[in-house]
Chain A
Amino acid sequence: MGEWSSARVWRSRVYRYRLIAGRCRSCGRAHYPPANACPYCGSRDLDEVELPRVGRLISYSVVYATPFEDRDRSPVVIGLIDLGIARLVAEVVDVKPGDLRVGDRVEAVFRRIAVDGNTGLIVYGIKFRPVRVG
């Protein structure tokens, strides 16, 4: 939890809250979270784009060796998610791991991603869950 200083929580808030990705003007690919250079071609000619909130689960891992503060959510599912113009890695929630299938439609949800003990900051961000509505 030490890595979530007030300054880092504040600096990263817009990207954590809103799925805003970096888009490369050279190769056209998007990456999330935004970096200083395109991870695919190295170009620094980037702008920003808001990603769609619904995508597909490409693959996932079920993590049992969670840190103690995540034990209440164990096992934690980490998914590789295809949002069309970008892929990202995020936690997949609200599902029993046995019910999850590669190719499932998943939607972004706003959740707590870290909590600094009983008195520190609550860090919010985006996770995904299988779409079961509509």
Chain B
Amino acid sequence: MALMPERGAGIHGWGVYIPRFRIPMQEIAREWGWPDHQWRALGMMEKAVAGPDEDSTTMGLEASLNAIRRAGVNPKDIGAVFFGTESKPYAVKPSATIIAEAIGATPLTMASDLEFACRAASEGIKASIGLVTSGMVKYALVIGSDTAQANPGDVLEFTASSGAAAFIIGSSKGSAAVFEGSSTYVTDTPDFWRREGSPYPRHGEGFTGEPAYFAHIIGAVRGLMDKLGLKPSDFNYAVFHQPNGRFPLKVGEMLGFKPEQLKLGLVTPMIGNTYNGSALIGLARILDYAKPGERILVAPFGSGAGSDAYSLIVTDVVEEKRGRAPLVDDYINDKISIPYSVYAKFRELIRVVRE
């Protein structure tokens, strides 16, 4: 078996943020004249909606504070801040510096915003493993955060939601979960895109599934299992990117995983697809409950297209860290239902003329 430099790195802290507001699927279906089977087929119940004063930066900061509480690290020891999003508040001006400033990691730190649709943050995890295991930085903070956009009336509107996850990555020593290996699979695939200046993304109808989501996740996960000599039954949990409630179950089945391995990490039916947060909020929820010694597979996916697969082994430190910040389920259960009109106002779907 090949040498796995990933084993020198681990997750010291994890944290999420999910906005309080929820819109039920029936609200969207009623507003745009969709039949109920349209959203039932997506395995969806409701989705999280960011408030009018929230954006990917504010949510990313809240998730970061939770990750730092669990890690118990001095923010001055964070040598890299990676912010993965496809909903940047500024087209030009990093969010990573705002977050680095707000957590107290500035000025002697790297800080950059990454873009690769829904797997930008995952690429940040991989870069952080390299920076940590090479000794270039002591800790890295990786954030995945999105206020996902969807053209009103587009089927994407059922799932595109808001939320964030953050992780402190450092040496495997003292971490709550140690990386065991990783594998990345990318190709040039035009399944989903948004041009500069365009408010909403477009997707290749019927093209987003097989050649994009399924091919890339399967490629990354098989690559990882081959490298590590592991099979699906060696994992206690598997969590994949979750564009809806159905795709992750299907890709899991195609790879040979059982529904009970997938259940804990599946959060999209309750909160929607949080894009860069999607698989990573699922991973955080697994860390909220996993027992020492258990093995986790996590495979984010981003359109355009690519997927990373990581294997993690949970350590006994996980239990003492858990109670230091709210659980994913605390955020999922903390909700205020809003009608379509409020959702439209909060997400600026109503045209307001400002000077």
Binding site for B on A (CB under 8 A): 13-14, 17-18, 68-69, 71-73, 93-94, 96, 109-113, 117-118, 122, 124, 127, 129, 132-134
Contact = CB atoms under 8 A, between A and B. Distances in A.
A54 to B, nearest CB: 12
A117 B354 contact: yes
A109 B326 CA distance: 14
Interface string B275-287: 0000000000000
Given A17-B102, A118-B354, A73 B58 contact: no
Interface string B3-25: 00000000000000001110000
Interface in B71-95: 89-90
Interface in B90-120: 90, 98, 101-102, 104
A134 B326 contact: yes
A130 to B, nearest CB: 10
A120 B20 CA distance: 28
B345 A133 contact: no
Nearest to A118: B354
Given A109-B62, A111-B54, A118-B354, A132 B334 contact: yes
A132 B331 CA distance: 9
Given A18-B104, A94-B20, A122 B52 contact: no
B355 A73 contact: no
A122 B55 CA distance: 10
Interface of B: 19-21, 51-55, 57-58, 61-62, 89-90, 98, 101-102, 104, 326-327, 330-331, 334, 336, 345-346, 352, 354-355
B98 A124 contact: yes
Contacts of A72: 52, 345-346, 352
Contacts of B53: 73, 93, 111-113, 127
Contacts of A14: 101
A134 B330 CA distance: 7
A69 B355 CA distance: 10
A132 B326 CA distance: 10
Contacts of A96: 336
A69 B327 CA distance: 34
B199 to A, nearest CB: 12
A23 B308 CA distance: 48
A109 B61 CA distance: 9
Contacts of B346: 72
A109 to B, nearest CB: 7
A13 B62 contact: no
A1 to B, nearest CB: 9
B355 A133 contact: no
Given A18-B104, A133-B331, A134-B330, 4 more contacts: A17-B101, A111-B58, A124-B102, A134-B327
Contact of B89 (A17, A109, A122): A122
Contacts of A129: 20
A72 B21 CA distance: 15
Contacts of B52: 72-73
Contacts of A113: 53
A134 to B, nearest CB: 5
Contacts of A132: 20, 334
23 contacts: A18-B104, A68-B354, A69-B354, A71-B352, A72-B52, A72-B345, A72-B352, A94-B19, A94-B20, A109-B58, A110-B61, A110-B62, A111-B51, A111-B58, A112-B53, A112-B55, A117-B355, A122-B55, A124-B58, A124-B102, A127-B53, A133-B331, A134-B330
A49 B327 CA distance: 28
Contacts of B104: 18
Contacts of A117: 354-355
Contacts of B102: 17-18, 110, 124
Q: List the 4 closest pairs (A to B, CB-CB), nearest first.
A: A17-B102, A133-B330, A111-B53, A112-B53
